[in-house]
Structure 1
Amino acid sequence: MRLESSPELEAFRERVRAFVAERAPGVKPHAGVRAPDPELIPAIRAWTAALFEAGYLGSEWPAEYGGRDTRADLREAFVVAEEIARARTWEPIGAGTLAAAALIEFGTPDQRAYHLPRIRRAEDIWCQLFSEPGAGSDLASLATRARRDGDEYVIDGQKVWTTNGQHADVGYLLARTDPDVPKHQGITAFALDMRTPGIDIRPLREITGSCDFNEVFLDSVRVPASRVIGSPGEGWKVANSSLAHERGGVAARGVELRGQLDDILALAGERDASGGPGIEDSAVRRSIGNLAARVHVADLMSKAAQSRMAHGTDDVADAPLVKVFFSEANHAAAELALALQGTDGLLTEGEPGAVADGWWQDAFLYARAYTIAGGANEVLRTVVAERALGLPREPR
């Protein structure tokens, strides 16, 4: 692992930390990748625009669209993600940076000139319209259809697990335009105006009580052909290329876990199920030690993945393994925090006596989502086994 720092990088970190402390729109009230309440949207738009304006987002973009003339240092992107996570504040919501990567590589000059400045100014919040009820981890099985009709496409289908769909102005959509070719070859990417007639967004209420995800129904939605990103049939290539630019999460995960471990240590120093300091119990110390080891391993895996990304030697197993280890350590942390609260662990947000106003209870209920989102852990283990280790394929 060669993720060495430097005086320049540490000075950059201090600037970012001060900027986040001054400009961020407050601490997120809940764990995980969550949709904000509507009244927070203006502040998050302003925060996102400020990050772009300061050069803390989009530095890798072409200079004509607000990036740098010189090649961006990927380590700086990791620092920004870490400092946002350390402050426990909002990262930019939606799929704007994901869509920007697709537009920069595959978009037309007109598409880039229109969409990229709006992404930088946070005038448009994007959502990701990829997953479907029958196409989640196996995304290439998507069934949403886009039929060419003159200068437009007519789109019919259903998307699901659309985070921030209720706030989105534009959707980064994948739809099948050719059902007669192998499934990976018949997909096309679109920039979909979410105000187009025929779009029905229905929030999905979760076990946490919040509505972060949505299902999106598309009924004869007409989209100009000029909104195709790349060429028709290139959607799989466009999507995978843009997903390869999603690197900030790898850096943030270790910081999140270390923060949770610190909170658990503080909680154990205050109380346990019998009302005394839990840290005095040897079983509690063993549980905390076990969790600390898992957090340390997950953090090292994150740093190793960052190192390989920074040096251009990243492997197909890096992101899946970081995600699997993070999600399982995150779930273990929430379980331990609830156990330390004893019967108070039943108290949820807003109830008198709830520890940290029920933050851990919400985190526990949300934790399973991390084991599914971004590819179910079982599927990611198969990816590592077959594509990274070259093990025999499972019978299909």
Structure 2
Amino acid sequence: MDVVDRFLENAPGDRLEFLRARFDAGLAWVHFPVGLGGLGAPREMQQEVERALAHTPQLDTGVQAIGLGMAAPTILAFGTEEQKKRFLRPLWTGEEIWCQLFSEPGAGSDLATLATRAVRDGDEWVVDGQKVWTSGAHHARWAILVARTDPDVPKHRGMTYFICDMHAPGVDVRPLRQITGEAEFNEVFLTGVRLSDDLRLGEVGDGWRVAQTTLMNERVAIGGAPVRRGGGMIGLVADAWREHPELRTHDLHQRLLSLWVEAEVTRLSGVRLREQLAAGQPGPEGSGMKLSFAKLNQELTGFEVEFNRDLGYDDWAFRRSESVDFLGRDPGYRYLRAKGNSIEGGTSEILRNIIAERVLGLPSEPRVDKDVPWKDLPR
């Protein structure tokens, strides 16, 4: 590719400087506008760029996943020009890590019932509340935050979307230990946190619409990432099958064939979803991809543990680590960590409702709280 060749001719050797230069050359997200890490090119060109730059310094996509997959597309869609220029470059290079302040102890699956309040005080907003299951909050510089700004209207209205400074006074991050023994995520307490109005994304009271952009991109980021044929988790399982013929049984063989077919269906569905993305914004189809990914990943990790049971578990070291390299860890870790796949990024139960109503056109469940002011809802 000519544009990549020209860039590589004078690319700096230092990793951070290389990533900054790549962003400035429009080779970060090629479909983003010129000057914001892109070339205004078709989205499918990104794969060509990634292949051409495969042996150059790379992003830490594990640590930067929320920024890349959720914050960036939301900032692009709703941010001011000043916000885009301020946040997108250090987000992409990894100089500033992002987290997501959405879920609360009483507002997980039903995010619209969230109770964190933001009250306007001149040119600032004062935020009070508690968020939970916040991945990466312990090393995040910024967060995407949804808070309630008007309790007198129904729950899907009266919310506003902010960029939250995680270093601001009043932000308290506390780790939550998970089944693997690690603390990837946290609970976050916000007490009198002051955010200037120029950290607001979208209009006041329009936070639900802005959040939908984040959530749709989140589901695509979790379930719709590009995977080569025979790659990812199915590849690890197939490799173990080839390496240990003495562990094979007829029943396991039939299950593996079924899982291979399911993995291929999921992979090809992801290809089609990304083709749809090239023509516009992600829709409810991303929920289907995320649902399929969670089910498949849990079945594959369960198969892997069962297949390896006769090798013993002594070498499966459940060591705590800051790494979120799922495929690079041991089978025991993968089995336990995959249990969260059907919760994070929208529970499988909620995703089934979304698919039923927005994809299949089935009637929605009765909702008695639709037109009730949020302050009058039982909690």
The two structures have a TM-score, normalised by structure 2, of: 0.80
Structure 1 counterpart of 2:34, which letter?
A
Alignment of 1:1-396 (within 5 A): 49=20, 52=23, 55-68=26-39, 71-77=40-46, 90-91=60-61, 93-97=64-68, 98-245=70-217, 247-252=220-225, 254-255=227-228, 258-271=231-244, 277-279=246-248, 281-312=249-280, 316=284, 318-344=285-311, 346-347=313-314, 349-350=316-317, 359-396=330-367
Q: Which residue identity does 2:111 align to in structure 1?
A: L
Rate the CA distance shift 1:357–1:348 in 2: closer, same or farther, 3 A. farther
Unaligned runs of 5+ in 1: 1-7, 24-41
State the Cα distance separating 1:171 from its structure 2 match.
1.3
After superposition, the Cα gap between the structure-2 partners of 1:284 and 1:112, relative to the gap in structure 1 and judged at 3 Å, is closer
- Please provide the CA RMSD for this pair: 3.4
Q: Cα distance 1:238–1:254, how it changes in 2: closer, same or farther (>3 A)?
A: same
Cα distance change of structure 1 residues 348 and 214 upon mapping to structure 2, 3 Å threshold: farther
Decide whether aligned partners of structure 1 residues 48 and 239 sit closer, same or farther in structure 2, where only a CA change above 3 A counts. Answer: farther
Contact 1:347 / 1:358 at 8 angstroms: preserved in 2? Answer: no
- Does the Cα contact within 8 Å between 1:345 and 1:361 map onto a contact in 2? no
Partner-residue secondary structure (3-state), 2:35: helix
Whether contact under 8 Å (2:223, 2:291) holds in the other structure is: no
Deviation at 1:66, TM superposition (A): 3.5
Q: What CA distance in whole angstroms lies between the structure 1 residues aligned with 2:232 and 2:86?
A: 39
Match of 2:374 in 1: none
Q: Secondary structure at the match of 2:236?
A: helix
**What code does the residue aligned with 1:130 have?**
F
One-letter code aligned to 1:139: L
- Indicate the SS of the match to 1:161: strand
1:107 maps to amino acid: G
Q: 206-215 or 259-268: which moved more?
A: 259-268
SS at match of 1:128: strand
Amino acid of the structure 2 residue aligned with 1:265: A
**Which residue of structure 2 aligns with residue 26 of structure 1?**
none
Return the offset for 1:296. 1.5
Can you give the 5+ residue segments of structure 2 that lack an aligned partner in the other structure? 319-326, 368-379
Query: CA–CA distance in 1 between the matches of 2:137 and 2:277?
Result: 30
**SS in structure 2 opposite 1:63?**
coil
1-structure distance, mates of 2:18, 2:229: 20
Mapped partners of 2:226, 2:133: distance in 1: 21
Moved more, 205-214 or 116-125: 116-125
**Counterparts of 1:76 and 1:106, CA distance in 2:** 24
Contact 1:151 1:224 in 2 (8 A): yes
Secondary structure (helix, strand or coil) at the match of 1:111 reads helix
Paired AA for residue 269 in structure 2: M
- Distance, in Å, in 2 between the alignment partners of 1:181 and 1:149 is 20
User: Contact (CA 8 Å) 1:58, 1:67: kept in 2 or not?
Assistant: yes
Give the Cα–Cα distance (whole angstroms) in 2 for the partners of residues 260 and 151 of structure 1.
Answer: 49
The CA distance in 1 between the partners of 2:22 and 2:272, in whole Å, is 26
Change beyond 3 A, Cα 1:161–1:390: same
Q: Secondary structure at the match of 2:145?
A: strand
Supply the distance in 2 between the matched residues of 1:257 and 1:205 (Cα, whole angstroms): 33
Match of 1:30?
Answer: none
Which whole-Å CA distance do the structure 2 matches of 1:90 and 1:257 have between them? 23
After superposition, the Cα gap between the structure-2 partners of 1:382 and 1:212, relative to the gap in structure 1 and judged at 3 Å, is same
Q: CA deviation at 1:160?
A: 1.0
Q: In the alignment, is the contact (CA less than 8 A) between 2:224 and 2:289 conserved in 1?
A: no
CA contact (8 A) 1:46 1:122 kept: no
Give 1:135's aligned amino acid: A
Bigger CA drift: 104-113 or 286-295? 104-113
What is the identity, as a one-letter code, of the residue corresponding to 1:319? G
Shift of 1:214: 0.9
Q: CA deviation at 1:314?
A: 6.4
- Cα distance change of structure 1 residues 256 and 359 upon mapping to structure 2, 3 Å threshold: farther
The Cα shift of 1:61 comes to: 2.6
- Residue pair 1:147, 1:155 contacting (<8 A) in 2 also: yes
One-letter amino acid matched to 2:302:
E
